[in-house]
């Protein structure tokens, strides 16, 4: 698991952009961003690639972010899209490992990563059945469509956040998400086996 860094109490509640601006003159202030978002990024990467490489990629993400902090657009108070954009590019280097991850999910009877949208299924549909249908559906998506879908479903980003993370227009986010949802919905038998709060996967 990614180690934690405890941010000083004075940084709690401070907007991300302010912390980044402060870190340009006082580098230790950047630790507050790690404290806030390392766990979130770890869970996202673990779902896509497995926990074996997640810690390294999260560490690399924050190292890259720290080195690039002088170029961060301070007009964006929330740094999550920026961090997810970095880690998504790193995930892309492991596309074979991601495909293997989805194949492994088909064989694994129990999900070993932290809970998330793909783990909680509606009444009448078993978790194993949902995963066995969802895994090949995700594997069959194009990289761009999969990135958009998973940044929304597992990264919990808004459409605007995904557009910022990937550096694409929001209209492209919507079209990729719509295409990905159609394919996932078809793989799940044109039904929505997920709870209402997770309907963004398929509706």
| pLDDT tens per residue across span 147-183 | 999 999 999 999 999 999 999 999 999 999 999 999 8
The residue segments making up the domain with residue 147 are 119-203
CB 137 within 8 Å of CB 106: no
Phi-psi group of 183: left, alpha or beta (phi > 0 → left; psi -120 to 50 → alpha; rest → beta):
alpha
Give the helix/strand (H/E) hosting 110.
Answer: none
SS (H, E, C) 25-51: CCHHHHHHHHHHHHHHHHHHHHHHHCH
Higher per-residue pLDDT: 4 or 15: 15
111 in a domain, yes or no? no
Q: How many other CB atoms sit within 10 Å of the CB of residue 119? A: 15
Is residue 179 exposed (0-12), middle (13-18) or buried (19+ Cβ within 10 Å)?
Answer: middle
Residue 107: pLDDT band with limits 50, 70, 90:
low
Q: Are residues 94 and 147 in the same domain?
A: no
What does the pLDDT look like over 63-76, one tens digit per residue? 999 999 999 999 99
What does the pLDDT look like over 110-148, one tens digit per residue? 444 444 443 333 222 334 445 566 778 888 889 999 999
* Per-residue pLDDT at 128: 44
Q: Which of 40, 70, 104 corresponds to the end of one domain? A: 104
Q: What is the pTM of this model?
A: 0.77
Q: Are residues 51 and 98 in the same domain?
A: yes
Instruction: Look up the CATH number of the domain holding residue 38.
Output: 1.10.1740.10
Q: Are residues 21 and 95 in the same domain?
A: yes
Closest to 68 measured CA to CA, from 113, 112, 20:
20
Q: Which of 75, 104, 133 corresponds to the end of one domain? A: 104
Task: Supply 162's token pair.
Answer: 């995904």
Q: How many domains does the chain have?
A: 2
110 in a domain, yes or no? no
Residue for token pair 């998330």? 116
* Per-residue pLDDT at 119: 39
Q: Are residues 125 and 196 in the same domain?
A: yes
Identify the DSSP state of 115. Answer: P
Q: Are residues 41 and 128 in the same domain?
A: no
Distance (Å, whole) CA 199 – CA 203: 6
Q: Are residues 84 and 126 in the same domain?
A: no
* Per-residue pLDDT at 178: 94
């Amino acid at each position: 698991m990614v180690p934690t860094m405890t941010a000083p109490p004075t940084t709690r509640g401070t907007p991300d952009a302010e912390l980044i601006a402060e870190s340009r003159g006082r580098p230790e202030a950047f630790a507050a961003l790690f404290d806030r978002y390392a766990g979130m990024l770890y869970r996202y990467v673990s779902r896509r690639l497995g926990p074996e490489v997640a810690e390294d990629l999260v560490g690399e993400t924050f190292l890259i972010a720290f080195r690039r902090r002088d170029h961060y657009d301070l007009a964006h108070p929330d740094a999550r899209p920026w961090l997810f954009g970095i880690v998504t590019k790193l995930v892309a280097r492991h596309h074979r490992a991601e495909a293997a991850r989805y194949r492994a999910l088909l064989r694994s009877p129990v999900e070993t990563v932290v809970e998330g949208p793909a783990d909680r299924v509606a009444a009448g549909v078993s978790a194993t059945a949902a995963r066995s249908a969802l895994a090949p559906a995700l594997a069959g998506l194009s990289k761009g469509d999969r990135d958009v879908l998973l940044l929304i479903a597992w990264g919990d980003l808004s459409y605007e956040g995904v557009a910022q993370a990937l550096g694409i227009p929001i209209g492209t986010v919507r079209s990729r998400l719509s295409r990905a949802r159609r394919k996932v919905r078809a793989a799940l038998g044109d039904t929505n086996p997920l709870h209402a709060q997770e309907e963004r996967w398929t509706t």
